[in-house]
Structure 1
Amino acid sequence: MTRLVFALWATLAALILGGCAPSQPFVGKTEVDALAEAISDLGPQVDPAEAQRAASIAYAYSKQLKQDWNVTDPAIIHNAKVINGFREKGLCNDWAQAMTQRLQQENFRTLDLHWATSPPTAFRIIHHSALISAKGDSMYDGIILDPWRNSGALFWAPVREDTRYNWRPRLDVRAELMSGENPF
């Protein structure tokens, strides 16, 4: 009887713990597919194959850059390492530039790429990110592709839903900062 009770408890524990363990390949596939679907949903003119390719590249390239740049800490700590010369790359503008350039290599016919910037505020430093939209659409109708925020794990969201930052065209923010309009 004791062996039977022990076996039942061991089986129950294995089932519970096994059910709690994340399945990485499934999670990664689901995330890529979710982003591909969101990109496809940007408009009827978006080619689903291009959306899938962009999503796959965004996830894979984020992971590759994390490894290439030896990102092992939260983003702000990694920034300090870059600024102090302990790491070569990994500031948000490095991520934005690399992601934008990599996706531009695909010569998408139905998608546009943008470089978005959130100007500094009293509580936040300036932040840059790549952004993807349907061909001809405003960046405000696109999706932020931000691997910096989670240290190489891609964060994405529709621009209008990403309330953590005040995304604007990079050149507009640059002009504002150069003119002295932004006190930060």
Structure 2
Amino acid sequence: MIRALMFAVVLATLAACAPPPPSSGDEVQRLANEIQRLGPDIDPEEANRAARIAYSYTAQLVQEYQITDPPLIHNAKVNKGRRPRGLCWHWAEDIERRLDQEQFRTLEMHRAIANADNPFRIDHSTAIISRKGESMYEGVVLDPWRYGGLLYWSPLTEDTRYDWVPREVVLQQRRQEQYGTLKPYAGG
């Protein structure tokens, strides 16, 4: 069991150190176009604004989180108190909060978690942007943690690296598991 865990840690570390996907052209415009493709009623100005903010706010968070290392090394620094923030759920929470401030009429934000039921992999959180009223499964993943502060994005259906589950579902499952381990109150 320990060997399997060590092997999983080595693989996760190597994956975290992998180079980011190659950039070509104007990435902000490519993301805006992808968001626009979410539906014919998406406001082009909102799609452009969401893409600009996703990239600029990621760059701002890189500075605030003091990112200088690959994600798993940075995670260790956060967990030891040597960095303020920068775990995947911090990125997801902050990106979601910032984009929600825009009060988009045609877009909405979601949160998702992957690997929650896999004992050999670390949970991973992300933010997802979708057409207003659609589920996260029709949205675009916004994941700045994956490449240590370089924004990864993809339609959720094309992000084969992770099996995303709505955050609410994962948290509800965890609450039910915790309730199952509680002993009945015998107070008086």
TM bracket, shorter-chain basis: 0.7 to 0.9
1:119 to 101, 109, 115: 115
- AA aligned opposite 1:118: A
Mapping for residues 1-184 of structure 1, pairs under 5 Å: 30-120=26-116, 121-180=118-177
Count of paired positions: 155
Please state whether the residue corresponding to 1:144 is helix, strand or coil: strand
1:143, 1:136 → 2: CA distance?
14
1:43, 1:156 → 2: CA distance?
17
> Per-residue displacement from partner, 1:130-155 (whole Å, max 9, x unpaired)?
11000111100000000011111100
2:65, 2:25 → 1: CA distance?
24
Give percent identity, aligned residues only. 51
1:29, 1:111 → 2: CA distance?
25
1:128, 1:117 → 2: CA distance?
4
Please state whether the residue corresponding to 2:84 is helix, strand or coil: coil
Structure 2 length normalisation: TM-score?
0.79
2:24, 2:155 → 1: CA distance?
19
Please state whether the residue corresponding to 1:128 is helix, strand or coil: strand
Aligned equivalent of 1:5: none
- AA aligned opposite 1:52: N
Please state whether the residue corresponding to 1:180 is helix, strand or coil: helix
- AA aligned opposite 1:51: A
Please state whether the residue corresponding to 2:120 is helix, strand or coil: coil
- AA aligned opposite 2:147: N
Structure 1 length normalisation: TM-score?
0.81
1:47, 1:123 → 2: CA distance?
42
Give unmatched runs, 5+ long, in structure 1. Answer: 1-26
Bigger radius of gyration among the two: 1
1:67, 1:54 → 2: CA distance?
20
- AA aligned opposite 1:157: S
- AA aligned opposite 1:107: Q
Q: How far did residue 28 of structure 1 move? A: 8.2
